[in-house]
Amino acid sequence: MAVPKKRTSRSKKKIRNRVWTMKSLKKASKSFSLAQSILSGRSRSFYYVAEKKF
C-alpha cells in the first residue's frame, strides 16, 4: 500500500534553492565575463572566426 512521504523541512528547501540559485549566478557571471573579454579583445581562452566586411 502507498504511504505518503515525510515533508521536507523549510530549511532544507531553502538550502537546496540557494545552491541551485548560486549555480546559475556563477554560470551567468562566467559567461558575462567571457563576453566582456571577447568584446574588448583580451580573450586568450576563447577562439572565434571574425567575419571580414568588405
What confidence tens digit (pLDDT) does each residue in 2-46 have? 888 899 899 999 999 999 999 999 999 999 988 888 888 777 776
Could you tell me if 39 and 30 are in contact, meaning their C-beta atoms sit under 8 angstroms apart? Answer: no
User: Is residue 54 predicted with pLDDT exceeding 70?
Assistant: no
The model's pTM: 0.57
Is residue 28 classed as helix, strand or coil in its secondary structure? Answer: helix
Residue 48 has pLDDT above 70, yes or no: no
- List C-alpha distances in Å: 39 to 12, 16, 22, 50, 51: 41, 35, 26, 12, 14
